[in-house]
Amino acid sequence: MTESARHTRRYSMLIALAIALAGLCYSSWLLEFVLPIDSDPVNQFLSELDAEGKPYREVFATADKVVGFLLIPAALGALFVFPRRRLTTIGWIALICFGASTIADTLLPLKDCAPGDPTCGGDSGLFPQLHQPHALTSTLAVTSIAVATFAFSAAAYRYHRWRILREFGVAVLILGTAATLWMMIADNLPGSYALGIAQRIQVGTMSIWLLALAAAVLIEAREQTDRPARSG
């Protein structure tokens, strides 16, 4: 293995580690089942876990900040370390946007609204938090990682790379898309329709997909750095 290949493998390992840790931190919402929190996972959004005034806000907010601070340099590093192709470039840039939006989520937390509170959008129905500034950052985060998952999935098929994203990653993408459609459709219908569960499935698939991407980065780096040695 050449010195350049060794450096590429080391950088790839660091990038993959950062992505994997980000995926784990983005699943911090699972702590709601461990910490003494009065939550309703069936009907409450995850943003309510780190809303203003919540007892464990700093725990969940810190985890989200770590996600952003890990993904932004990891994606930037990937743009310099790995070969640039249009679809993967879109994917890495989208991950940078996701990291930045996740940090913004913590800087614009959900307000603990009372019914009819004009600072929370007034009388806005069952989910007044959808009319707060926090909704914009959350929407940007979900949109960004959706773009990333679609871009990397398309790249996996087009460039015949990252088998784990072509198979397992696509299955996770389909599940996450189904949960997103569940939320979008049900939110416009009368009744609750267990939107809390839908969002937890959605966010859970994001974490799992990040872990799959980390594994794909490691496998790809190993294959690329070993290929010259085999051919020589």
Tokens of 16: 């993959």
**How far apart, in whole angstroms, are the C-alpha atoms of residue 114 and residue 22?**
33
Tokens of 125: 């129905």
Query: Comparing C-alpha atoms, which of 151, 61, 31 is closest to residue 97?
Result: 151
pLDDT digits (tens, 9 = 90+) for 180-201: 898 888 777 777 788 899 999 9
Torsion of CA 204, 208, 209, 215, to 10 degrees: 170
| Cβ atoms of 226 and 18 closer than 8 Å | no
Segments making up each domain of the chain, as ranges: 3-111+127-231
Residue ranges of E strands in the chain? none
The C-alpha angle 148, 51, 35, rounded to 5 degrees, equals 95
Q: Stretch 34-60: mean pLDDT, rounded? A: 88
Give backbone dihedrals phi and psi of 189, rounded to 5 degrees, phi first.
Answer: -115, 155
Check pLDDT > 70 for residue 54.
yes
Mean pLDDT of all residues in the chain?
Answer: 84
Rg (CA), the chain: 19
pLDDT value of residue 39: 84
| Cβ atoms of 16 and 218 closer than 8 Å | yes
Query: Comparing C-alpha atoms, which of 61, 57, 69, 86 is closest to residue 22?
Result: 69
Neighbours of 175 (CB within 10 A): 16
- Model confidence at 212, in pLDDT bands (50, 70, 90)? very high
pTM of the model: 0.86
Tokens of 71: 């993904």
